[in-house]
Amino acid sequence: MVHKGDAVVMPDGEAAHVPVMLDRVVELLSPSLRAPGAVAVDATLGLGGHAEALLTAHEGLRLIGIDRDTTALDHGRQRLSPFTDRVDLVHAVYDDIPGVLDRLGIAEVQAVLLDLGVSSPQLDEAERGFSYSHDAPLDMRMDRTQGRSAADVVNTFSAAKLTRILRDYGEERFAPRIARAIVRERGERPIGSTVRLAEIVRTAIPAATRRSGGHPAKRTFQALRIEVNAELAVLERALPAALSRLAIGGRIAVLSYHSLEDRLTKRALAALATDTTPRDLPVLLPDQQPEIRLLTRGAETPDADETERNPRAASVRLRAAERERWR
């Protein structure tokens, strides 16, 4: 495997994207992975770039790679083939980290990585239906083996429910207009393609607003993707689940790509990093001391060089913490 500019060339010649904030993620997680027998969980394996870097940096590391996308697991299996004896790849949603570890007979781990959002293959493979830039079936499922598609959502949900999804998950200020337009257009014929949905959204948004702020369908597609894959609900369950299996001295790193993900991550980490001794007590209670120590000052962002090389990295926010004790 050789590096070629900003791409990694796979054994079959296919180019894969270099993962976001790779060096910083390895730097943050490495202190907990140096001991013999260390186990790391890459809970959103994707193309396996972060996993490959961690396995390369730590020769004794065992890595558990989880992904709900079977295509991603196939990519990861190919990329990580030199480390087969140290890798377990599992098809699961990442909020099932405890279940995955139980099935593998692992009680606790030394590191967990959550690289959230949609992966490059999902965006780049037009037939997956994640992108408004290519005409494709309106799918957006990360796991195509189960669940409803984006077409199911736009063709069956009420205007009120669509409005809530677009407002809450896409932060779309024209959510009611777009929802009404979707319901009106699907009355003529079902909405089944990404390009048709993008055009419906574009025409529903006032012309003056369409002139700035990027593609007018961007927020709608984000909202539908989050709804189809229950992304925020999964993350809300996954953070405490992952932290519950983190050993003393173990570390967690989370890469978020929009404010909704980052807000949930910040809240979950802050809750365990806070002393909960009642304010009216004169001394700190030992069993109320913080469980984790924050390793990042707020959320870290990629540098200008990385965002120039990879525009998709521009929105990423990285937070990390280390378990210090159990309450």
Cβ atoms of 194 and 132 closer than 8 Å: yes
Q: What is the C-alpha to C-alpha distance for residues 138 and 220, in angstroms, rounded to an integer? A: 13
In this predicted structure, what is the pLDDT of residue 117?
Answer: 79
Four-point Cα dihedral 26, 32, 36, 42, nearest 10: -50
104: tokens are: 């593998």
**122 in a known ligand binding site:** yes
Q: What is the C-alpha to C-alpha distance for residues 31 and 81, in angstroms, rounded to an integer? A: 25
Q: What does the pLDDT average to over 172-195?
A: 96
Please report, as a single letter, which amino acid is at residue 147.
Answer: G
194: tokens are: 């990404």
Confidence of residue 276 (pLDDT cuts 50, 70, 90): low
What mean pLDDT is reported for the chain?
89
Confidence of residue 9 (pLDDT cuts 50, 70, 90): very low
Q: How many Å separate Cα 249 from the centre of its chain?
A: 24
- Residue 104 three-state SS: helix
Comparing CA positions, the residue from 227, 110, 116, 216 lying closest to residue 163 is 227
**67 in a known ligand binding site:** yes
**132 in a known ligand binding site:** no
Of 111-125, 199-213, 219-233, the range with the lowest mean pLDDT is: 111-125
- pLDDT tens for residues 44-99? 999 999 999 999 999 999 999 999 999 889 999 999 999 999 999 999 999 999 99
Higher pLDDT, 127 or 124: 127
Q: What does the pLDDT average to over 164-177?
A: 96
In this predicted structure, what is the pLDDT of residue 3?
Answer: 29
Sign of CA dihedral 275, 278, 283, 287: negative
Higher pLDDT, 200 or 282: 200
Of 6-20, 225-239, 246-260, the range with the lowest mean pLDDT is: 6-20
pLDDT of 8 > 50? The answer is: no
Whole-model pTM?
0.88
Distances (CA, A) of 77 to 36, 74, 146: 24, 5, 22
Q: What does the pLDDT average to over 130-136?
A: 84
Radius of gyration in angstroms for the set of CA atoms belonging to the chain, rounded to a whole number = 21
In this predicted structure, what is the pLDDT of residue 13?
Answer: 40
**94 in a known ligand binding site:** yes
In this predicted structure, what is the pLDDT of residue 4?
Answer: 25
Residue 145: other Cβ atoms inside 10 A: 9
Q: What is the C-alpha to C-alpha distance for residues 324 and 327, in angstroms, rounded to an integer? A: 10
Confidence of residue 12 (pLDDT cuts 50, 70, 90): very low
> Within 13 Å of residue 263, how many CA atoms lie on the same side as its CB?
6
Q: What residues does 319 pair with on adjacent strands? A: 254
What are the chain's domains?
2-115+231-323 (3.40.50.150), 129-228 (1.10.150.170)
pLDDT of 7 > 50? The answer is: no
Residue 79: other Cβ atoms inside 10 A: 22
Q: What residues does 251 pair with on adjacent strands? A: 111, 322
- pLDDT tens for residues 285-321? 677 688 999 999 999 999 999 988 888 788 999 999 9
Instruction: Please provide the DSSP assignment of 120-143 as one string.
Output: HHHHHSGGG---SSS--BS---SS
In this predicted structure, what is the pLDDT of residue 161?
Answer: 98
149: tokens are: 């598609």
pLDDT of 10 > 60? The answer is: no
Residue 236: other Cβ atoms inside 10 A: 16
In this predicted structure, what is the pLDDT of residue 6?
Answer: 34
Q: What is the C-alpha to C-alpha distance for residues 38 and 32, in angstroms, rounded to an integer? A: 8
For the chain, the helix, strand and coil percentages under 3-state DSSP, each to the nearest 5 = 45, 15, 35
Q: What does the pLDDT average to over 247-258?
A: 96
Confidence of residue 130 (pLDDT cuts 50, 70, 90): confident
56: tokens are: 């390369």
Q: What does the pLDDT average to over 93-122?
A: 91
**49 in a known ligand binding site:** yes
